[in-house]
Amino acid sequence: MCDRYGQEEPLSRRALITGITGQDGSYLAEHLLAQGHEVWGLVRGQANPHVARLRKHVGDVRITTGDLLDQGSLISAVERVRPDEVYNLGAISYVPMSWQQAELTAEVTGMGVLRMLEAIRVVSGISPSRTPGDGQIRFYQASSSEMFGMVRETPQNEKTPFHPRSPYGVAKTYGHYITQNYRESYGMFAVSGILFNHESPRRGAEFVTRKVTLGVARIKLGLANELRLGNLEARRDWGFAGDYARAMRLMLAQDTPEDFVIGTGETHSVRELVEFAFGTVGLNWRDYVVLDERYTRPAEVDLLCADPKKAREQLRWEPEVTFEELVTMMVESDLRLLSESARPEDEPFSPDHW
C-alpha cells in the first residue's frame, strides 16, 4: 500500500516529536514505542550530545534535524519523516528565563508553533481551497496552565479565560490560539493539551520541584546545608509526567480534534512540597530552607488547579501516580543520582530542548 506521497506505507504509525530531549519528549517517546509507533525526534544540530543519552534511556528513537526558528528546516523534516502524528513539545519552558529572554521565548515557544503548523500545511498541500483528507497528519500542541495566569475561576477548565502572567505564558497562549485557528481555517486535525504542572525525576534542575528534591538529596548526603527558595505559598496542581504523556496520545486518537485540560484536580503549596520532600528523608525543612527574594517572579501566579472532567469522560484518562508517590520517587532518584555523581548535569534530559 502506498501513502499520500506515493511511497510504501509503514506498518506502524509514525510520530515526530519536537523537544524529544526534554522530560515530556522522553516519556512520550517511551509510551509511543510501547504502543508500537515508529518514533522520530527533531533536534537542532548534527552533534547534539543529548541524543546518545536519550537513546540509552528511551530506546529505538530515530533522529532528524530541524529548528523551530527555521521554517525551511521544519518543512524538510516533515517531508523526510512523513509522520502520521506530530507532537510539538519543543519550547523554552522555564518561566523565569522567559523574562530574561522574552523575544527568544516568543520566537520559539510562540512562533515555533506557527512554523510547525505551516510545515505540515505546506507538505500536505492544504490550502483554503484544498482541505485535508482522512489520512492527514495529526498535530498536538503542548499548551500550558500558565496561560490561565491570574485566574478568573477555580478550578480551570477548557472554557476558562486566559490571563498569562509571564512572557512564557503569553507565548504559549499564542501557540494555543494559532493551533485553534489552523484547525478552524484549514480543517486540520490540530489539538492542544492544556497540561498543568507535571514532574518527574527527569525534570530539569531549574524547576522548583526538582530544585527541592535535589536540595533535599544534597543536604541528606552532606553536600549542602541549605536550600534557597522564593514564594512558598504558590499552589500548583502537580502530576507525574509519564501519566500526562498517555493523555497526549489519547487526544490524537479521537475521531474529532478537541482541546483538553489535563491535571489531577488537586493543589499543593510549595511549602507542602518542601515539607513532604524533607520528611521522606527524616529531616525538618525549617532547619534548612532559606527564603530568597531573588527567586520571586516579577508577576506571580498564585493558584492553578485543573478541572480534568472532560479528559476523564471523553479520553477515559486518569492520573495513576499520586503527589506523595511523585515526590518520593523524585527524592529517591536524586539520592541515587548524587550518590553516583555530585553533578546533576550528568542527567540525560536537557532543559534546552527545542
Q: Which amino acid is at 124?
A: S
CA distance linking residue 130 with residue 65, whole number of Å? 29
CB atoms within 10 A of CB 35: 14
User: Hey, CA dihedral for 195, 197, 200, 201, is it positive or negative?
Assistant: positive
- Quote the distance between the C-alpha of residue 10 and its chain's center: 27
Residue 297's SS3 state is coil
Query: Residue holding cell 512540597?
Result: 273
Q: How far apart are CA 179 and CA 157, in angstroms?
A: 18
User: Cα 141–77–80 angle (5° rounding)?
Assistant: 125
Instruction: Judge whether 198 and 24 are in contact, CB under 8 Å.
Output: yes
Which segments of 221-294 does DSSP mark as H helices, in order?
Answer: 241-252, 270-279
Q: What is the widest separation between alpha-carbon atoms in the chain?
A: 66
Assess whether 173 carries a catalytic annotation: yes
Chain CA centroid to CA 109, Å: 11
Contacting residues for 340 by C-beta, under 8 A, at least 6 apart: none
Question: CA-to-CA distance for 234 and 292, rounded, in angstroms?
Answer: 15
Neighbours of 301 (CB within 10 A): 22
Report how far residue 230's alpha carbon sits from residue 294's, in angstroms, rounded to the nearest whole number. 7
Which residue among the candidates 21, 105, 173, 280 is catalytic per the annotation? 173
Q: Residues 149, 163: contact at Cβ < 8 Å?
A: yes
247, 289 contact by CB (below 8 A): no
* Cα 209–chain centre separation: 15
- What amino acid positions are annotated as catalytic residues? 173
